[in-house]
Chain A
Amino acid sequence: MADEQDKLLPIANVGRIMKHILPPSAKISKEAKETMQECASEFISFVTGEASDKCHKENRKTVNGDDICWALSALGFDDYAEATVSHDHGHVNRRLHHSRHENVLELVS
């Protein structure tokens, strides 16, 4: 059982991120959090696999941050790739974080 949990992110952390993006009155079932845990692990594997393939083709042994960024873009997660590269030492991250809060308010109204 401990071995299985090693493949997943802690449910508390996952639950916190979910809760933060939802309206205060929203509830999340335990199974939904568990499903999200599994999806997150799958996401990590998916992106890592793509990054690793790139390294392999370029005869490099170490997967670095640029490879992850590249993989994110290649797999359709351009927003995430942009958010992880700071052009402005944090301003990009703050702006994207703010815009996601706006999206949450739109959902509620």
Chain B
Amino acid sequence: MRQAGTYSGILSGGISGRTGPHSLPLARIKKIMKKSNDDVKMISGEAPIVLSKACELFIEELTKKSWMMTMQGKRRTLHKEDVASAVIGTDIFDFLVNLVENKQAGFDGRPSSSGGALQSGEKAVDRGKRVTDWRWVLARLY
């Protein structure tokens, strides 16, 4: 696949689009692009490559912001509540607010990974897990 000019930086900068330490699978990215957007019929060759790089930067940024929440709580393990706090506290991540709020309320459609999602009003401490509920609530006040 020859990609000259504008996006050559991505290709020559170590992210070949197929291999590399942090690359994301392009086929999967393409699938996600198509599955959630009925209008999307045709995707050019370089679009998934550009999105792959953007996605990597997105994950990095959200992770860093989540980690700041973890540190505020004087912990060393990044929990999903920290991700939720980071989302709520960052304007450009507004599109994720529903996603993280639904997860908190127990509406995520994922197969149960830890004994089922929390029900609305239920606290993680009731399940014997470490709780950061109140911090999540505080973050919403910012």
Contact = CB atoms under 8 A, between A and B. Distances in A.
Interface of A: 1, 4, 6-10, 13-14, 16-18, 20-22, 25-32, 34-36, 38-49, 51-53, 56, 61-69, 72, 75-77, 79-81, 83-94, 100, 103-104, 107
A44 B56 contact: no
Mostly, the A contact residues are: helix
B10 A84 contact: yes
Nearest to B117: A31
A27 to B, nearest CB: 4
A34 B78 CA distance: 12
B54 interface: yes
Given A35-B80, A39-B96, A22 B63 contact: yes
Contacts of A13: 22-25
14 contacts: A7-B36, A10-B28, A18-B60, A22-B64, A29-B79, A30-B114, A41-B32, A44-B33, A46-B95, A56-B39, A86-B8, A87-B9, A89-B9, A107-B68
Contacts of A32: 66, 78-80, 82-83
Interface in B15-71: 15, 21-25, 28-29, 31-33, 35-37, 39-44, 46-47, 49-51, 53-60, 62-64, 66-68, 70-71
B25 to A, nearest CB: 7
A20 B49 CA distance: 20
B50 A68 contact: yes
Nearest to A20: B22
B71 A107 contact: yes
B28 A25 contact: no
Contact of B6 (A1, A43, A47, A86): A86
A32 B24 CA distance: 18
Given A35-B103, A45-B32, A90-B9, A100 B44 contact: no
A26 B68 CA distance: 12
